Amino acid sequence: MPLVKVRMIVPANVRHRSGGNIYNARLVESLRAQGAEVAVHSLDGGWPSGTAADKSHLAAALAGDNLSICIVDGLIATGAPTEIETATATGRRVWVLLHMPLSGEQPLEKRALRAATGLLCTGSGTAEAAKRWGLPNVHVATAGADRPGKRAIPGGPGGRPRPSGASEAPHFIMVGALLPNKDQIFFVEELARIKDLAWTAAVVGSTTADPSYSAAVRERIFRHGLEKRVELRGELSGPALEEQWLRADLSLLISHSESFGMVVQESLAHGIPVVVRKGTGAVEALGAHGAGEAIDLAPGTGSLAEMLQRWLSDSALRKRWQDAAAAASQALPRWEETAREVLRIVTGTHH
């Protein structure tokens, strides 16, 4: 196959560890590993709206080598229909990478996406929404999963060894920037309802993405006297994050909305079962492995606490979820598969 040149255009104004940022970075690495030549253009600016200067920078990034295939993050593309139209009218292949479903609130969105060569959607829910809008050439490119460098082995209450000094009580983990959509406050409120049971928890994610919300999460922890049981760890990556995964027995992603939920796959890759909110894209990421549960949180406070109480008190349930997560970790798609699928789609080849 001839050398494929890809130009990835990504936003620089999302500065916390987001699923979109991680997806973009891992896709670039994996495309390169598949032999593609990938140039990354990181555009600062007020995306998704963008100023005239921001859009001028986008237009410049879209121009150039005719052999290049451009993949533009949807956060940028949906606010710049004129620039997408101009590029495709001159023969550029411009694919939009959609991490989130269309809002339906911005009329420019549909115009921008219709002008694109095609859409790469990171979740099937996003793809289905795009098709309902009548947008053509829609494809799904689901995130891959990385195998942890060192596989966990049985030991400890959750089935994995504990780092030295770690608590022996079952340990919850919630990974994601502290933002209202992620609903860490609700998590803390529900933990307060089961204070009589043995558990610890870590909330891992940026505290600077929304400082006022982060302060409210911290205040709620202290209000309920949970400061010795619930840790706010801030944003972590690399070995520091791996250590948190090693401590965890159950992961939670209870966002009000998720297009997919890459952290669910990250949890399963580490052999950790997950609880997600029913009705979100995180249900797709959880899959049918039996490694956790999608719960309905619509009835209001109490439903999550009841589920956590059931999990804490039922050792057979914990073991069943643990075994299913261990099996899922070996069955998850890998990033090289994602990269191969993206190359197949954007080049129009079958190999």
| pLDDT (tens digit per residue) in 147-202 | 775 444 344 444 555 554 555 899 999 999 999 999 999 999 999 999 999 999 99
| Predicted local distance difference test score (pLDDT) of residue 297 | 93
Given a cut of 60, is residue 351 above it in pLDDT? no
Residue 67 binned pLDDT confidence (cut-offs 50, 70, 90): low
Asked if 40 and 179 sit in the same domain, the reply is no
Asked if 176 and 128 sit in the same domain, the reply is no
| Predicted local distance difference test score (pLDDT) of residue 203 | 98
Does residue 149 lie in a domain region? no
| Predicted local distance difference test score (pLDDT) of residue 259 | 87
The average confidence (pLDDT) of the chain is: 90
More confident site: 103 or 81: 81
Asked if 309 and 338 sit in the same domain, the reply is no
40 SS3 class: strand
CA 80-63-120 angle, to 5 degrees, is 55
Asked if 284 and 267 sit in the same domain, the reply is yes
Asked if 121 and 207 sit in the same domain, the reply is no
- Which phi and psi (to 5°) does residue 252 adopt? -130, 135
Given a cut of 90, is residue 94 above it in pLDDT? yes
* Percent of residues, the chain, with pLDDT higher than 70: 90
Given a cut of 50, is residue 220 above it in pLDDT? yes
| Predicted local distance difference test score (pLDDT) of residue 235 | 95
CATH number for the domain spanning 228: value is 3.40.50.2000
Asked if 190 and 76 sit in the same domain, the reply is no
Asked if 257 and 179 sit in the same domain, the reply is yes
Q: Could you give the C-alpha distances from 43 to 8, 29, 99, 284, 300, in angstroms and in order? A: 10, 19, 17, 30, 40
Please state whether beta strands 37-43 and 5-11 pair in parallel, antiparallel, or not at all (unpaired): parallel
Task: Find the mean pLDDT for residues 61-73.
Answer: 85
Does residue 93 lie in a domain region? yes
Asked if 192 and 293 sit in the same domain, the reply is yes
* Percent of residues, the chain, with pLDDT higher than 90: 75
Asked if 317 and 339 sit in the same domain, the reply is no
Is pTM beyond 0.85? Reply is: yes
- Least confident window among 154-168, 216-230, 254-268: 154-168
Q: Domain span at residue 36?
A: 5-144+334-347
Task: Find the mean pLDDT for residues 39-58.
Answer: 90
Does residue 165 lie in a domain region? no
| Predicted local distance difference test score (pLDDT) of residue 343 | 96
Given a cut of 90, is residue 225 above it in pLDDT? yes
**Alpha-helical regions (H) of the chain:** 19-33, 52-62, 74-77, 81-89, 107-115, 124-132, 184-192, 211-223, 238-247, 262-269, 282-286, 303-313, 315-331, 335-347
More confident site: 13 or 25: 25
Asked if 16 and 133 sit in the same domain, the reply is yes
Does residue 164 lie in a domain region? no
Asked if 189 and 222 sit in the same domain, the reply is yes
| Predicted local distance difference test score (pLDDT) of residue 153 | 35
Does residue 310 lie in a domain region? yes
Tally of domains in the chain: 2
More confident site: 3 or 349: 3
Instruction: Measure the CA–CA gap between 177 and 154, rounded to whole angstroms.
Output: 30
Asked if 186 and 250 sit in the same domain, the reply is yes
Task: Find the mean pLDDT for residues 124-137.
Answer: 90
Instruction: Measure the CA–CA gap between 6 and 345, rounded to whole angstroms.
Output: 13
